[in-house]
């Protein structure tokens, strides 16, 4: 419900996530996390509103496609899993069905993780920054790579495009 209210502030009044967050007394990242929950499959959103799932459960489900979200949400609710157990289930499902590319064991830098989180907040989507190689420019080492943005449907992709067009 709160996420729908924030979405309304953003869409109807053209507020940024930061301004919408201030209007309701939340931090920008908290507001963005709430808005990301609107990317969940409708039955999962219903379970969240009914109290069958916690916010932590719901956030863990965001990395799955909609069909897998529903399946996992039903398992989480039926088995009354903790958030950590839910995260393990999601990780297992992601690996089993290759829903998310597996990264090499190389740990991402704090800056890379921060950029991923910031982009995910801005775009309300799962974002991965992939560092492909390091180059030397003007005597400094710089990373080169790509940004991957996950979407689960054409509607979601169109929403991403709209949000990108709104970024100035």
Q: What is the mean pLDDT of residues 124-135?
A: 83
Q: Which two tokens stand for residue 6?
A: 């924030």
Task: Annotate 67-100 with three-state secondary structure.
Answer: HHHHHHHHHHHHCCCCHHHHHHHHHHHHHHHCCC
**Per-residue DSSP letter, 25:** T
Q: What is the pTM of this model?
A: 0.51
Q: With bands split at pLDDT 50, 70 and 90, how would you rate the model's confidence at 106?
A: low
Q: What is the mean pLDDT of residues 114-129?
A: 84
Q: What is the mean pLDDT of residues 20-48?
A: 85
Angstrom distance (rounded) from CA 151 to CA 154: 8
Higher pLDDT, 45 or 97: 45
- 75-81's contacts with Cβ under 8 Å and 24+ in sequence apart are 77/47, 77/52, 77/53, 81/57
- Whose structure tokens read 């903790």? 82
Percentage of residues of the chain with pLDDT beyond 90: 21
Whole-number average pLDDT of the chain: 83
Angstrom distance (rounded) from CA 68 to CA 74: 10
Q: What is the pLDDT of residue 96?
A: 67
Q: What is the mean pLDDT of residues 40-47?
A: 90
Q: With bands split at pLDDT 50, 70 and 90, how would you rate the model's confidence at 44?
A: very high
């Amino acid at each position: 419900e709160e996420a729908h209210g924030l979405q309304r502030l953003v869409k109807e009044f053209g507020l940024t996530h930061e301004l919408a967050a201030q209007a309701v007394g939340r931090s920008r990242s908290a507001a963005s996390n709430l808005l990301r929950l609107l990317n969940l499959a409708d039955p999962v959103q219903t379970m969240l509103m009914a109290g069958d799932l916690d916010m932590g459960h719901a956030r863990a489900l965001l990395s799955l496609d909609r069909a897998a979200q529903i399946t996992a949400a039903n398992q989480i609710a039926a088995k009354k899993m903790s958030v950590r157990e839910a995260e393990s289930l999601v990780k297992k499902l992601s690996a089993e069905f290759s829903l998310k590319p597996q990264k090499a064991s190389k740990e991402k830098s704090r800056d890379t993780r921060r950029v991923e989180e910031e982009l995910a907040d801005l775009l309300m989507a799962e974002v991965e920054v992939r560092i492909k190689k390091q180059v030397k420019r003007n005597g400094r080492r710089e990373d080169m790579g790509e940004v991957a943005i996950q979407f689960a449907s054409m509607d979601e992709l169109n929403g991403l495009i709209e949000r990108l067009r709104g970024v100035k």
